[in-house]
Chain A
Amino acid sequence: MAKKSVQKAKNTKPFIGILVAIGLVGVAAIGYLATRSADAEIMRIDTSVPIGKAESYLIGREDAPVQVVEFADFECPSCGSWATLTEPDVRARLINTGQVAIRFYDFPLPMHKNTWAASNAAACAAEQGKFVEMHDRLFQGQIEWNGEATSKPKGVFMGYAKELGLDVAKFESCFDSQRMIPRIKGNRAEAERRQIAQTPTFVIGDKAIPGDIPFDQFKKYVDDELAKHAPAAPKSPAK
């Protein structure tokens, strides 16, 4: 700093002006970005609706030896990546073979403005026995209905309902009534109770594994659990 800085120190007016300008630009930029993602028409959740009982959605067989608990947010990109890239392998090799079942709990995060609506759509599809189909469709089409794409996701979900062969009138009535919100709130409360900090998170046995984990890693945890369930090998006869 020395001499040069001492000279600068005496002439601080332009400097203060620059700082004020940066401050104003910073405040304006944050304001603009926040407004761009503003939730003017997001699905409003009635806060007086009580938290319901946590009730997961089953993907796979109820009696599968390994029951994986998944906490996910329909609008979270990592959840979408796992559901569209890794889960098909998990379904084909582990779920359809009866080794694993996934119990899916909604964990809608506050920064995703359309995630409650997506959970609502999934719950209403579940009412007609098509949770898995809607789950897959929501994740595949995430960029069509997420908060960046639209502030009115219901129209997209109605399209999915029709595409999946749901009774559209019944689906819409369910969606608008928000009667599934207590269940979604319950599922979210379950995630909070278990101190889940990230989506997706998979609970396999006594381990909570966060993140968009690859198939091999998922299978390794499943194999560890299967080994625990495997009947003990018969003891070799004494010689």
Chain B
Amino acid sequence: MTLSALALAGVFLALYLTLYKLGYIGRLVCGTGECETVQLSKWSTLLGQPIALWGCGFYLATFAVATAGTTERWAASRALSVVLVVLTGWGVAFSGFLTYLELFEIHAICRYCVVSALLTCVLFVVAVLDLRDYRSARSDV
């Protein structure tokens, strides 16, 4: 449940950046202006689509899998826990790469990206703890 809630928050975060990148909401409310530098850099698109849109997809996928895990049918599924660990682990790795780009290639920090990276790390930790719970529950049986 925690995973679903966090992932849903991530969906809105990524959606905001996507809407900006696609030109629907004018200017980013950022303060320092570095968000724009990051969002307008050559690193802000991947395969022709905004990175934020890919982020939206990532959070939606995490939300879908995590929410499926709260239903009776899938609640005891180890596979779902493993999928969540892999998915969020990938998210952490990709966020790490994006943070590296911000620091060493773009030389600007987007605070929304930092929040997203932290959110992804928390998602990963919760997913790992969930998988550990599963294992300890199995050993209790």
Query: A211 with B8: in contact, given A34-B25, A37-B25 (CB under 8 Å)?
Result: no
Q: Are B137 and A2 in contact (CB under 8 A)?
A: yes
Tell me whether chain A's interface is mostly helix, strand or loop, or mixed: helix
In the assembled complex, the Cα of A77 lies from the Cα of B76 at a distance in Å of 51
Nearest-CB residue, chain B, relative to A34: B25
Number of interface residues, chain B, beta carbon within 8 A? 45
Q: Are B76 and A1 in contact (CB under 8 A)?
A: yes
Q: Are A210 and B130 in contact (CB under 8 A)?
A: no
Q: Are A111 and B20 in contact (CB under 8 A)?
A: yes
Query: Which of A9, A22, A34 has a CB less than 8 Å from the CB of B70?
Result: A9
Which residues of A are at the interface with B, using a C-beta cutoff of 8 A? 1-6, 8-10, 12, 15, 18-19, 22-23, 25-27, 29-30, 33-34, 36-39, 76-78, 81, 109-113, 143, 146-148, 197-199, 210-212
Which residues of B are at the interface with A, using a C-beta cutoff of 8 A? 1, 4-5, 8-9, 11-12, 15-16, 19-21, 23-29, 33-34, 36-37, 40-42, 45, 67, 69-72, 74-78, 80-81, 130, 133-134, 137-138, 140
13 new A-B contacts, CB < 8 A, other than A9-B75, A111-B28, A212-B37, are A2-B137, A3-B140, A4-B137, A6-B72, A8-B75, A15-B4, A19-B8, A34-B26, A37-B28, A111-B20, A143-B33, A146-B27, A198-B41
